[in-house]
Structures are given as C-alpha cells and as structure tokens.
Amino acid sequence: MLSLKRQIKVAVVLALTVSVVLTGCAKKSFVVKTVDDKIAPIDKRVTDNSAAIKDNGERIDAVDKRATQGITAATAAATTAQTAAGAAQTSANQANTAAGAAATSATQANTAAATANQGVTAANTRIAAVDAKFATVDRYNPGPIQTVLFKVNSSVLTDDAKMTLDGVASPIASLASGYQVEIQGFASAEGAAEVNVALSQARALAVQRYLVSKGVALIRMSMLGIGPVGTSKTKAERDQNRKVEVRVFRAG
C-alpha cells in the first residue's frame, strides 16, 4: 500500500494533469513544480500529524504503563489488605475462644467458691452445735465436800472412809461425762513438812484408787497432796487435819 504522503502526491498530480489536459497547455516542468509547490505544505502537515500521532502514542503508552503499574500496586495492596483482614479475623477468633475459656474458668471458680462457702457454712453450723453442746460442760457446779479421816502416819482407808467414798462413787460411777472429782490430801502439822506432804499425797492416792475400783473414771479425777494444815495445839485439831477432802463438780 502507498503511504499517505505518496497517495496525496499522486492525487495532486492526477488533478493537475487533468487540469492541464483540459486547458491544453503547460509544460512538464511547470506541472512538476506546481505539484511540488502544492505537495510541500501537505507534506509538512502530514509530517507534523505523524509526529503528533507518534507523540500521542508514546503518551498513551506511558499512561497505559502507569495505569498497569497502578493496577498492579492496587492489586498488591488489596491482597495485603485481605491478608491483614484474615489475620485480624483469626486473632478475633482466638480472642473469642480465649474469652470463652476465661468465662468457663470463671464459672468453674464461682462454682468452687459456692461449694467452699457451703462447706464453710456447714462447718460453722457444726461448730455452733458443738459449742452449744459443750457450753454447759465447761461450767461445773461444785457439790458438797466429803471428808475422809485417817489415823496417825497412815494412808489406809478405814471402814468409815470407805462408806463415805461409796456414797461419792454411787451417783457418778455409771456416767461417762458431765462431772469432775477433786481429791485433796492433808496431814497434821506435827513432824517434818516433807514427810507430811508425802503422807498427804499417799492419802489422796488411796482415795483415788478406791473410787476407781468403784467405777469412777480415772480421767475424771484430779488429785493433789497439799501437806500439813492447821496447828498442833490440840489432839482434836490434829485428828481433823489427817484427812482427804473429796468434791464432785457437775456440769451445767
């Protein structure tokens, strides 16, 4: 195919040739010069248009390149954003899972606390019941003092002493609790103090052994040898100081 410039030149030559034929005059050189003069401006415009077309094409290519780069960058940014969104969703799911686990742990802790509170309440109830039960046990009311007399320098129980102790043991021998027996031994004031203390202890021990033989619980008795009491001025006083005093304390 002929170029645009060549096509225009041919068209002009034909047009001038036709004009010359019709007028019947003109030389070849004239025709050529006339054709060149006509074509020169056209050639310039064609060249300018070609340059403009080329420049526009380059601009279009540059725009296409920038558009392609922009699309690529936008695609990459969108992919990055989607990845970040996926990671955020994963984190959110993990956070929800952790929150659920924490809620479960809190529920379990509340249940354990409630159970512990119930245990504490039950323990307090039992403690209150025990306190109420033993509130009166720790309060003992003293009974009358029963006196058992002994002979000089002796810790042997007489028949009268045994009868007195039988009266002490009878009411309490069948009891497992609710009472305490206090036994205190004495001696008269004559003689050495150390001997009288040992004698008073032996007399108290003799009373304790007899009460145990009658069914009184040993754990319910306390025993102490006090030693000499009173003075040695009269025989009657000395006789009354060779003794053991027994007292029963009842709970309540």
Residue-by-residue pLDDT tens, the chain, 252 positions: 556 656 666 665 566 565 555 555 555 566 566 656 767 777 777 677 777 778 777 887 776 787 678 778 767 876 787 887 788 788 778 877 887 887 787 788 778 778 867 877 886 787 777 666 655 556 899 999 999 999 999 999 999 999 999 999 999 999 999 999 999 999 999 889 999 999 999 999 999 999 999 999 999 999 999 999 988 789 999 999 999 999 999 998
* Inter-CA distances, 223 with 14, 89, 158, 180, 191, Å: 162, 84, 19, 11, 23
* Neighbour tally for 163: CB within 10 Å: 11
Based on its alpha-carbon atoms, the radius of gyration of the chain, rounded to whole angstroms, reads: 68
Cα pseudo-dihedral 70, 73, 78, 84, rounded to 10: -150
The pLDDT score that the predictor gives to residue 209 is 98
Distance CA 179, CA 175 (A): 8
Using DSSP bridges, classify how beta strands 140-149 and 243-251 pair: parallel, antiparallel or unpaired. Answer: antiparallel
Report DSSP state, residue 176. S
The pLDDT score that the predictor gives to residue 15 is 62
What residue ranges do the domains of the chain occupy? 1-135, 140-251
Using DSSP bridges, classify how beta strands 243-251 and 179-187 pair: parallel, antiparallel or unpaired. Answer: antiparallel
The string of DSSP letters for 103-153 reads HHHHHHHHHHHHHHHHHHHHHHHHHHHHHHHHTTTT-EEEEEEEEEE--TT
CATH superfamily of 140-251: OmpA-like domain (3.30.1330.60)
Q: Residue-wise over 61-85: b if at least 16 C-beta within 10 A, else e?
A: eeeeeeeeeeeeeeeeeeeeeeeee
The pLDDT score that the predictor gives to residue 44 is 74
